[in-house]
Amino acid sequence: MMIQFKPFDKQDDHDYEAYVAVHNAVWPNSKASAGFMRRFDDSAEPRFLNERLLAFAADKPVGAIHFGHNFEQDHPQKFWFELIVHPDYRRQGIGTALYERMSAQIAPHDPIAFESSTRENEPDGIRFLEKRGFELGARQIVSYLDLGTFDPSLYAGMQQRAAASGVEILTLGAYMAREPDYVRQIYDAHHEAERDVPWYEAGGGVSFAFFARQFEDNPDFLPDCYVVAVADGQCVGLSELWGSEATDKKLYTGFTGVRRAYRGHGVATALKVLSLTNGKKRVAANGQPPLVETQNHETNPMLQINLRLGFVEQPASLVYVKRLFKP
């Protein structure tokens, strides 16, 4: 079969749609949207490489790769990629060809590390990465909570416990209305807490500009679901709960973190309970509240909080890393 490889045109909506078609065939339970991808590309900092390539069989998009600097590590020689091939078009060399094209484009940057990820129930992806010298860096437990069965009344005491320690738990929507500097406030709390997230190596964290962009013109930003903790005149914690332009049946919990000095008072649990309570009010077109998906490193204490709230484990996400040691 004739396969054609095409550079990605970030001005062309069809290219985003082609990427989404492959993505959704490979990961039907984690659907992507063209809008999300476009916003990601638009907000990528120019100093970082951020590229995509597509593979077509006749006119059908069958493979794609998204690659660039691992901007969370913020290192000029560390890279990241997502490689996907439609299940019906595997074992024909499409994945290898995309991988090699990426490698050639990155080679001038003298890469020292590549990171990628797959799922525990994706043997094709695991084999592909391990055969090419990748090693497991982190096992991220994926879990789901069905908000249809989530009963906020069971956790009412959590809010009181946090309040008793002088910490106010509120939606970001309410915080935005009273704190003009809310982005900086949240970013600083995020930055402090992020350093304690278990990971296979220390990272630099996302930039302020990238962080700020999440709140602008973003249909996945839900001001009633994103929640913050405030004490002593500053933001001391946050919990992200994002919508999905791709489906109204799913919400995604992102980062949850509490500044060190405010830990041990139930603040993280209270944040989660408020965001899930408000998430439950968002009924999908099928009449049901959405499912919340999240990921935690297997040693992250947040995992135990989530399991107590009723999250149920799914096949884990496996983060693989390949280090290139130069003589």
Ligand X SMILES: CC(C)(COP(=O)(O)OP(=O)(O)OC[C@H]1O[C@@H](n2cnc3c(N)ncnc32)[C@H](O)[C@@H]1OP(=O)(O)O)[C@@H](O)C(=O)NCCC(=O)NCCS
Torsion of CA 94, 1, 23, 109, to 10 degrees: 30
Q: How far is the CB of 92 from ligand X (least distance, A)?
A: 5
Lay out the site mask for ligand X across 35-74 (x = CB under 6 A, - = otherwise). ----------------------------------------
Distance CA 221, CA 253 (A): 11
Residue 110 has φ and ψ, to the nearest 5°, of 55, 60
Among the listed residues 44, 53, 83, 228, the single contact to ligand X using CB under 6 A: 83
DSSP reduced 3-state for 48: coil
| Alpha helices, H only, the chain | 13-26, 34-43, 94-106, 123-131, 156-164, 172-178, 182-194, 208-213, 267-280, 301-308
Distance CA 288, CA 207 (A): 36
Task: Pick between residue 81 and residue 155 the one whose CB is nearest to ligand X.
Answer: 81
Tell me the residue nearest to ligand X as measured from the CB: 125
Q: How far is the CB of 84 from ligand X (least distance, A)?
A: 4
Strand stretches in 38-174, DSSP E: 50-57, 60-69, 78-85, 113-119, 135-146, 168-171
Residues 260-289 that bind ligand X (CB under 6 A): none
Lay out the site mask for ligand X across 154-173 (x = CB under 6 A, - = otherwise). --------------------
Most distant pair of Cα atoms in the chain: their distance: 67
Can you tell me which residue has the tokens 């009181």? 160
Task: Pick between residue 53 and residue 84 the one whose CB is nearest to ligand X.
Answer: 84
Task: Pick between residue 131 and residue 178 the one whose CB is nearest to ligand X.
Answer: 131
Does 29 bind ligand X (CB under 6 A)? Our answer is no
Q: How far is the CB of 237 from ligand X (least distance, A)?
A: 32
Lay out the site mask for ligand X across 216-255 (x = CB under 6 A, - = otherwise). ----------------------------------------
Residue 117 has φ and ψ, to the nearest 5°, of -150, 155
Task: Pick between residue 125 and residue 266 the one whose CB is nearest to ligand X.
Answer: 125
Among the listed residues 32, 84, 230, 251, the single contact to ligand X using CB under 6 A: 84
CA angle 11, 26, 5 (to 5 degrees): 45
In DSSP terms, 258 is beta-bridged to: 237
229: amino acid identity, one letter: A
Task: Pick between residue 14 and residue 127 the one whose CB is nearest to ligand X.
Answer: 127
Task: Pick between residue 133 and residue 157 the one whose CB is nearest to ligand X.
Answer: 133
Cα 164 off chain centre by: 33
Among the listed residues 90, 161, 249, 263, the single contact to ligand X using CB under 6 A: 90
Residues 94-153 that bind ligand X (CB under 6 A): 94-96, 116, 118, 122, 124-125, 127-129, 131
Cβ atoms within 10 A of the Cβ of 274, count?
Answer: 25
Q: How far is the CB of 296 from ligand X (least distance, A)?
A: 20
Does 257 bind ligand X (CB under 6 A)? Our answer is no
Residues near ligand X, by CB under 6 A? 26, 82-85, 90-96, 116, 118, 122, 124-125, 127-129, 131
